[in-house]
Amino acid sequence: MKVAGEHYRTIWMDSETGLVSMIDQNALPFSFEIFKTRNFQATCHAISTMITRGAGAIGAAAGFAMAQAFLEGSKHLKVESSEFLSIVESARKEIEATRPTARNLFYATERVYNAGLISVENAVREAQLLADQNIADAKQIGEYGSKLINNGSRILTHCNAGWLGFVDYGSALAPMYIAKEQGKEFFVYADETRPRNQGARLTAWELQNEDIPHKIVPDNAGAYLMSRGMVDFVIVGADRIAANGDTANKIGTFEKAIVAKEFGIPFYVAVPFSTIDFSIADGTQIQIEERSEDEVLTYSGPDSEGVSRTIRMASPGSHAFNPAFDVTLSGFITGFITEKGILKPGELITSIL
């Protein structure tokens, strides 16, 4: 993506030093900042606190964190030693505990860990390869998905699955970016996506950056929009997909899918195959991350003088329940926009056989 005319990846690593740099998504849209981590613990912190977030970006960050663990361990121990192996195994567990619903995180740590057992240099190469593949897959998703977009299309999306959710291009927003490049004119409704407002803060920022017409809408406006014939189709991303097509995505996604089916509106999930967990049969086996109640009870942002402040929005003394994801059943999904094409839920498993 380009910001002020300069091209950026969402996250990248210096292969020589192990320094990982990433766009600080918690600072957006009010300021554009780069956050840097020098070790895997700091990268874990960036993942868990959502400095970097989104399926693809989490995967890339996890791969880089795993590579950092190999690099750090090799500075003090012989890579053939049991102590070295114990350190990287412990690091892997710590990385995988940061965002337990995100399939790409586990996919990346496994790939880089296995590569690192051959050599530290191989771990670094594998982490870089995963980031590059992330971009290639996202661009292919964009190419296939753009065929769904016509002049005048009105699209609803939930959460953020654009550049910021991947290393570049994104998943749900990638078709829109490719369609924009093709000269198509269309309109996007971006759900605010409580409680962290990734739609209002991140998706809207990306769309504005790309000069794509859009409006931010309340999360509970979806049924109104669809009942009034104001939405032609829905595109969302995903954090983990079961073999049968059941899909875990940001909380509130399942509600949109139910309403879309009621009004006969196509509902698409844009996702690379690295997000699909073929080891689980259905969505009941997906672990749902529960986050701090503070995300529901408070809101943070800069005041008129640019000073970041946190205020309470809810009744003092009340507590909150904050599941980060819900699971949309495969029967509510029209199709999956993947790097291999647009597939129906039942075609996911057959596509790898």
Return the active site residues: 239
Residue 285 has a CB neighbour count (10 Å cut-off) of 14
Q: How many CA atoms lie within 13 A of 96 on its CB side?
A: 16
Separation of alpha carbons 179 and 126, rounded Å: 31
Separation of alpha carbons 193 and 8, rounded Å: 25
Separation of alpha carbons 86 and 249, rounded Å: 33
Determine contact, residues 207/29, Cβ cutoff 8 Å. no
Separation of alpha carbons 350 and 256, rounded Å: 27
Beta strands in 1-78 (DSSP E): 2-3, 6-7, 11-13, 20-23, 34-37
Q: Is 317 left (phi over 0), alpha (psi -120 to 50) or beta?
A: left
**Two tokens, residue 274:** 């690295």
CA neighbor of 69 nearest in space, from 52, 94, 49, 48:
94
Name the 3-class secondary structure at 7.
Answer: strand
DSSP letters of 327-341? EE-GGG--EEEETTE
Determine contact, residues 167/131, Cβ cutoff 8 Å. yes
CA 221 to mean position of chain CA atoms: 23
Q: Give every CB contact of residue 99 below 8 A, 6+ residues apart in sequence.
A: 47, 48, 53, 58, 105, 239, 289
Question: Which residues on adjacent β-strands are paired with residue 7?
Answer: 2
